[in-house]
């Protein structure tokens, strides 16, 4: 079994979208999410973690230790029953449990489900069977991504040559619809990895960490769709502390990463329109900066 991580990490992800909708807002007709006060685009942490989960599920195919707990089309209770079966816990035993089975369930879920071991989970479904595992706090946390510049949301009208029903065909020969896109935007997300939580709670390992970096770098490569357009991870900048609890504050490391538009007189339309810099001189010697891409 791979060794549990011993170092604290912070990381910065830069990704872009071209003629697509990176994260639709269901409260706004699925238009790209936006900060209404500033006009900056937003991609939620939940959206990014979904991409990571999907990549791991694709490459690991539910192999031992790499199952995914939060997945499309699978009720959480289905995964819960796996724990019951493997640990030999019956409904009767669950009803009589005073908490001694809770830690066993938690450890089993962390050991077998990559996303619980990584991001944590609130496993409230066990409460219905009188097993309360509570909240598993994962060592990896990712914040909302925000665009580097304010975005412009565009609504594009599209047509379809095929109508839906025979009755419609008597009146018209096509259908019309809408697509919401952003012509171009570069987004920045920041994340944290706690070696202490990995050690004391989920046992997140060095092998898991390698898979996480791989998943972040490739999270859009198997997620292409007509709605999302062209999306790519452009930078993954990792800060590795020499200690478990860290050697400086996270914001100081994040502040060393600056993004500047090369020509302020016109809107950016490609990644090359920006220059990304890391001020190495402001990074303490106890922290290693690694540009993974």
pLDDT (0 to 100) of residue 70: 93
pTM of the model: 0.92
pLDDT (0 to 100) of residue 220: 97
What residues are paired with 276 via a beta bridge? 259
pLDDT (0 to 100) of residue 191: 99
Give the Cβ contact number of residue 257 at 10 Å.
19
Q: Determine contact, residues 110/121, Cβ cutoff 8 Å.
A: no
Q: Determine contact, residues 209/5, Cβ cutoff 8 Å.
A: yes
Q: Which residue has the tokens 């950016």?
A: 268
Give the Cβ contact number of residue 107 at 10 Å.
17
Number of H helices, E strands in the chain: 9, 14
The percent of residues above 90 in pLDDT, for the chain, comes to: 71
pLDDT (0 to 100) of residue 89: 76
pLDDT (0 to 100) of residue 159: 83
User: What would the mean pLDDT of 255-278 be, rounded to a whole number?
Assistant: 98
User: What would the mean pLDDT of 25-42 be, rounded to a whole number?
Assistant: 96
Q: Please give the mean pLDDT across all residues of the chain.
A: 91
pLDDT (0 to 100) of residue 136: 92
Give the pair of three-digit tokens for residue 135. Answer: 């909240």
pLDDT (0 to 100) of residue 79: 79
Q: Which of 165-174, 212-221, 281-290 is predicted least confidently?
A: 165-174
Highest mean pLDDT among 71-75, 77-81, 165-169, 212-216: 212-216
At 87, is the pLDDT very low, low, confident or very high (cuts 50, 70, 90)? Answer: confident
Per residue in 60-75, pLDDT tens? 998 999 999 999 888 8
pLDDT for 265 beyond 70: yes
Taking the C-alpha atoms of residue 158 and residue 172, their distance in angstroms, rounded to an integer, is 15
At 178, is the pLDDT very low, low, confident or very high (cuts 50, 70, 90)? Answer: confident
Gyration radius of the chain's alpha carbons:
23
Taking the C-alpha atoms of residue 192 and residue 8, their distance in angstroms, rounded to an integer, is 8
- Burial (CB count within 10 angstroms: exposed 0-12, middle 13-18, buried 19+), residue 193: buried
């Amino acid at each position: 079994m791979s060794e549990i991580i011993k170092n604290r990490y912070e990381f910065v992800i830069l990704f872009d979208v071209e003629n697509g909708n990176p994260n639709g807002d269901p409260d706004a007709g699925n238009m790209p999410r936006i900060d209404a006060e500033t006009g900056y685009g937003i991609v939620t942490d939940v959206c990014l973690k979904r991409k990571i989960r999907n990549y791991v599920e694709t490459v690991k195919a539910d192999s031992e230790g790499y199952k995914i707990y939060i997945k499309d089309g699978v009720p959480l209770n289905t995964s819960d029953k796996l724990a019951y079966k493997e640990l030999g816990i019956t409904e009767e035993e669950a009803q009589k449990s005073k908490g001694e089975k809770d830690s066993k369930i938690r450890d089993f879920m962390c050991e077998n489900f990559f996303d619980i071991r990584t991001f944590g989970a609130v496993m409230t479904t066990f409460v219905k069977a009188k097993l309360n595992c509570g909240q598993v706090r994962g060592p990896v946390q990712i914040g909302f991504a925000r665009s580097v510049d304010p975005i412009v949301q565009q609504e594009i009208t599209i047509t379809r040559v095929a109508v839906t029903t025979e009755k419609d065909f008597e009146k018209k020969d096509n259908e019309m619809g809408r697509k919401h896109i952003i012509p171009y935007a570069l987004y920045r997300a920041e994340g944290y990895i706690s070696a202490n939580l990995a050690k004391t709670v989920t046992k997140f390992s060095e092998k898991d960490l390698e898979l996480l970096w791989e998943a972040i770098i490739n999270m859009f490569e198997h997620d292409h769709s007509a709605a999302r357009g062209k999306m790519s991870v452009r930078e993954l900048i990792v800060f590795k502390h020499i200690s478990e609890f860290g050697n400086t504050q996270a914001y100081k490391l994040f502040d060393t990463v600056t993004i500047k538009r090369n020509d302020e007189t016109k809107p950016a339309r490609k990644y090359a329109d920006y220059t990304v810099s890391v001020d190495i001189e402001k990074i303490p010697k106890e922290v290693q900066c690694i540009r993974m891409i």
